[in-house]
Structure formats: structure tokens, C-alpha cells
Structure 1
């Protein structure tokens, strides 16, 4: 089998790239290691920048999002229960964010791929990349016990942090940067109305907490906890009690408790791999970078990556221009590092670290007080939160 672009990974990055290429008349095949049921069941973030929303509109995969997504004009920053609102729309001249779960985005993109017959291969096992430093790369894999070969012009590595794509770049070429945070997020998903109509990021003496949602009837909450914490030690009632304490009395008054649908602890890390391309291989999304979830940049960075990559590939096939491909890594990384900085900063502002002493705590309080009292500081926060321009 032959295609123009082999896309490794059937998450939102790979699926969105395929639809962008399809609209531009470029052929591709998506290879995904997991089953469709597994991919569609993964619980992930749910805040979309307007740039991401625009890309979904561009490929015509926005119908359900337009009906069910929640437009948020702002978010709240809380300090020991005292809530301060950041008005995104006012501070940025009209920009907002959309709350629509990554799980739903993935489902919509899979449905689009099936409807448009853009090839999508689930349970592709043993994927290996070959000839990446030649003009004739190819991919081998096994499907239903049968060895397969996919010839292509280019390979897009959208297979996440643990995928094969990044590790296919020679070690003497690739440089990585990483910060592992000494805590995780203990998350609970419940079919209850959210405690507020917007997100609340809380810095509390006992640690960080976040009140979020997936819809008007489904809530997602997080608390900072040790990454090796035993979930059995956190029955639902204990989590609800801790959330009420850390989010403060106003949020607690609006909180509806209910049984958890899903409960997990996610580690936090900042990670960047450079370059994001080598030979005929181009990395996008979590294959190239990870951000802590504070500020919800993960999916949105993947979207900007595939926007740049789709533009570069479309330009190559339209007129033979290779400058977009050669410049892809530098262009994508310029935005990646800015988003990494914001996520790192926001995490530092809202969480308690093992070495957070009284002085450090006072510095956090002083910075939040400064943001609350400074229009210029709020503009900076808002511009980064809604997403820097592509």
C-alpha cells in the first residue's frame, strides 16, 4: 500500500492532521496501535483555544461541538478560598475558550475519517519506521497477524510520549529537556452539575485544586496529591471534602456531590524534544512535548503543530516548496516553548512544592495579589490562557 503521508498515532493530533490534509487533497493513512474503543474511552483535557476550534471548523468537524460545547468568557483564580475572576473576553478584545472534552473531539474526528473513507487502521501492532533519512521512507506493521508495508513520502509522528516516532530519531541528533514535578493531580469525574459556570484554579494552604467540567451535567475536579498516592485511601467522600476545603466556601456552596465515574492520579511533567523533524519524519503533539495540565495546553499545542505541518505538506504538494517543511521544527518550537513557559509558571503559582517555605508562600500570595490588582498582568495571563496566535 502507498500513500503520501503516513500518520503514526490515531489520537486527536494524528486524526486532525489527516482531516486537514484531506481537505487540501493530500492522501494519508493513520496507523493506531490501540483499538477504537480504547482510543475513544481515554479521559483527557477539555479546554480548547479558539485556534483549535477554528481548525475543527476548517475541516467541518465542529457540528456537535457547536451544539454541546460551552464557551467560557473567563476563569477564576482563587487564593485560600477568595475568588478573583479573569475576564478573558474583555482582556483580549474578544477571545474566549471552549470547554469540549478531548474524548469528544477524538470521537468526532474518527467519525469524520470513517464518513470520508480516509484510511484509519486500528490495532496496528509492531509499527516500525524505515528509511527516514531517504526520499523513500516506509512503515511496517502487523494487522490481524499479517505483516504489512506502507510506502510514503513523509511520516508524521503523532504517537505520543511513549510512541516509536521520537525514538526513531538518532540519539546524537535529538536533545530533550525535562522537568518532573514532585506531585500529581488526583482527578474525579462525576455526573453532577459543576460548582461554577467557569473553571476555578485554587491555590490553597493544603495544595492546588481545580474545579472544571465536561458539560453542564458532568464535572471534572482535581486536587494536588503525591504522585504515588494510593487511590484506595481516597474514597469519594474524602475527595469531595478536600475539594470543598481547597476551593473555598463560595465554590463549596455550589458543589453537588455524587459517585465518581472515573478516578485517577496523573503525574505532571514539562518535556520538549528538539528538533521536531529529521529527514522525512515530523513530530507533532505529545511525541515532541508534554506540558503540565495547568492551563490546558496539551491538546492545543498538538493542534498548532498539525496546523503548521499541514500547511508545510500542502505547500510541498501544491508547488514543490520545501521551505515550510525545513522550517517546521523551528516554527512549531517557537510556540511550544512559550506554552511550556506559561504552563510551568501557572503550575508554580498555584501548587505547593516540597520546598515551599513561608517565604515562598508569601511570594505566591504577592504574585496573585499583583495579578488581581494589575490590568496589565491580567492581560498577560489572559493572552496566554486563550492561546497565542499561530
Structure 2
């Protein structure tokens, strides 16, 4: 057996042992496209609308963002890493998620994408300039693919604490006193979306943007009907990428679930969380460590009840790692930490949720009563 084949086998086995009961069965979704139009390399930023930019800026600073640019109509937020901003908030009548923007490897990919989709390349308003192609995914989310002209320079970091572990004494004659201050966001990590058109949306992201699946989840006892959630990463070849840049799950609604932002380490998550709690913000769930992706996590609600996550220490996979498969369950969300809250799960019977269920069961989509009952069972398992 060649060295390459041994390496691929080792990678696959390690992934299955850590993240799923087993890999794909014969005939199941391969988790990647044979011939995608392009291969995006990362999330660029997320786009939102909010009626009160001043209030949005106060929360942004408390959560750990830096301000990249501000006008009467727009607020661009960034992390400490060099690159593009990670969020733009535009003034609007309501607080809502608009859609994601992804980085193309080079400008020629925008031309290829525009020709294939019947769209055009246009200038974008990102600080530093750049070009974009505007698309619409099957769920109805506007999706931008961008190439930025000039990267923002790096900013000072929160340095990770030096830890003593067992007999490895890296810190002597010095104390640990992490300040209670905002977690300093380094970068945008991922966004999670809910859709009634899961299979169609999944294939669109794989075929159009060249993304690949790290893990599939399925409803217990209903694996034959295919996956109902996917953790999707960028295909950078041999260069490791985040376990997921985009995650999607089937549900009665169509919309934003949460977005995640990397910070330095566990102390940054914890001290930053204390800072947020002291200022009256609401924790949704945390602190804990995920299973799919392995991230340390802490989830918070902003003043408009949109959910954002601090995370650290996430998995990185090269293109060799094949998708894992596991049953969907609430207990399978974390290796350790407090039980997932009803708030995090969106399990409250709100009027909007009831309307979503009624519309989903009546509409032309991938939801039916069996799947709805299976999702409810997963939320309580």
C-alpha cells in the first residue's frame, strides 16, 4: 500500500473514531461535488440589518469586535487578524440577517462564477475595496463571493496564557491574573443556517462554491432518508481548514441560527463571558466543548436576540478527511458542559415558530410530519 493511501486511511479512521459512529454507507451522499464551479477559501463577512447602529456598536465592542469603519448607514466590524472585516451591519427597519460573503481564491474565479450563473462582477463597498458576484442560494439567502483589494492590517492580540500541565512547568515565579475584559475577537469562524430545503441548499454550496462536508447528522431511525444536518468546510486541498465554515440543518423555518467568532483561549472565553454578564447580556448556552468541530464554546444573545458564539481550539481538516455520519441529538452537541438550553435549541413555542411549522407542512419543501416529529425527538434526546 502506498504512503498516500496509508495516510488517507489513517485520517479517515481518526475522524470516524472522534466524530461519528461510522462513515458513509454505500449510495449515501459523498459530501463533495465532482466538478464545482469554484472553490471558496473562507468566509469573508456576514451581512445584517439593524435599526439602531449605536446600540449595535456598544454590543459589538463589549463582545470583542473592533470597528473597521462607521458611517450613518453602515457599521463594519473586524477582528484582530489581518484580512477583511468579519461583519457589516446596515441601518434597516428591523434586526435581521441578510446573508454571507465568501472569499474567492482570485479575481478570475469571480469571472468564471459570473459567466456560469448569468450574473456580473461588480464593485463592493468593503473597506479597502474589492469586487463581488451576488448570488441567491436555494433557501433564498443572498450569497456574495468576493475578492478584496486590500487587507486590513493586524491589530494587537490577547496573548494566550502560559499553562502548567502535569510535569510540564512552562510558568514559574509568575501568577495568572487574566483581566476581566472583552474577549478580543480574532476572526469570523462560521455561520449556521436553518432551511426547509436542506438537500437542495447543500448541493448548491458544494456544486457552486466547492465546499465539502466534514460531518453529516441524520434523524435516528431515518438514516435511509438522508442527512438532516451538515457541517461544511472550505476545500483548500492539503492546507487544513476549519471543520465547518458553514453549517446547515433542516427545520420548519428558514433563517439565521448563529455565527461564531474565534478568540484566543478558554480564559478569553470565560473572562469575556464574565464581562458580558456584568453588563446584563444574556448567555444562551455555555461554556462547553462541542463534538463536531471540538470547539470550546460560549453562546450569547445580542440586544436584538441574535445569537453569537465565542469559540477557541477548533478542529482543522485537510481535503483528505471524509465525512462522518452520526445521529442527530441534543446530547450529541457537546463533550462536556451544561445541558443545551431551550433558548439555544429554539425549542420555545413562539408564535413565529408555530407559523413556520404550519407553512412548512403545507409548502413544497423537504419537511413533512415524520421529519418534524423526528426533529422534536432529537431535540429531547
TM-score, length basis structure 2: 0.25
Instruction: Looking at secondary structure, tell me which structure has more helix per residue.
Output: 1
TM-score, length basis structure 1: 0.25
